[in-house]
Amino acid sequence: MKKVNYLFILFAVLFGLSILSISLQSANKNKMAGNSKLMSGKFYVAKEILPDHSVYPLLMIVDRVRLELADSEKKTYLLVAYGNRRLFYSKKLLEKGNQTLALTTVNKATKYINQALAESIILLEQSPSRKEEHKELAFFVLKNLDEHTKFFIDHKDQFSGEEKVIIESLSLQSSSLAEKLYSLIETN
């Protein structure tokens, strides 16, 4: 089984490096040709790599590999971290006026938080011997969910009607998972 994991990691690294190489080559070609796409934000130097950056797919691959290799508890922490990072990216994209990409990014952030909620539920249901540790993790996830909910409230006016429906649907899923998690915490 470990050989499969190592092969997967090797494949992911090679795939990521090939994407990085192709992105950098195309950016250099565009720069030499005087293409204005370069100025539109597809390839830029900044402190953080937002989803509109050409190197972003490499970051996503690294995130996926880390998730696949993590145990349930570490995976839950990673899911929260990735959700929070994408929430931050959504704010930055809204500041740049890119509502479409901000919407897909906030959707991914919410999916990560929902997955962390689901993982916390599973941990509480399946590991009664480590109940207190898992309760702490559950409260950590719920606290971070509050930040995502605050984001929806603060930024909902920046999205159109159809986009609001998507966000509200994901938010309802979060609420449902949070209710189940709270009930598990109270019964344990």
Q: What is the arithmetic mean of pLDDT over 19-35?
A: 52
- Distance, CA of 112 to CA of 109 (rounded, Å): 5
pLDDT at 2: 66
Higher pLDDT, 24 or 178: 178
Contact partners, residue 81, CB within 8 Å, separation at least 6: none
pTM of the model: 0.73
Nearest Cα to Cα of residue 43 among 60, 63, 22, 13: 22
User: Each residue of 58-103: pLDDT tens digit?
Assistant: 888 999 999 999 999 999 999 999 999 999 999 999 999 988 899 9
Q: What is the largest CA-CA distance in the chain?
A: 65
Which whole-number Å values give the CA distances from 12 to 7, 17, 23, 115, 188, in the listed order? 8, 8, 16, 22, 40
pLDDT at 116: 97
Q: What is the arithmetic mean of pLDDT over 37-53?
A: 59
Residue pair 51/44 in contact by the 8 Å Cβ criterion: no
For domain 70-187, the question of CATH label 1.20.58 is answered with: yes
Contact partners, residue 141, CB within 8 Å, separation at least 6: 76, 80, 113, 116, 117, 120, 181
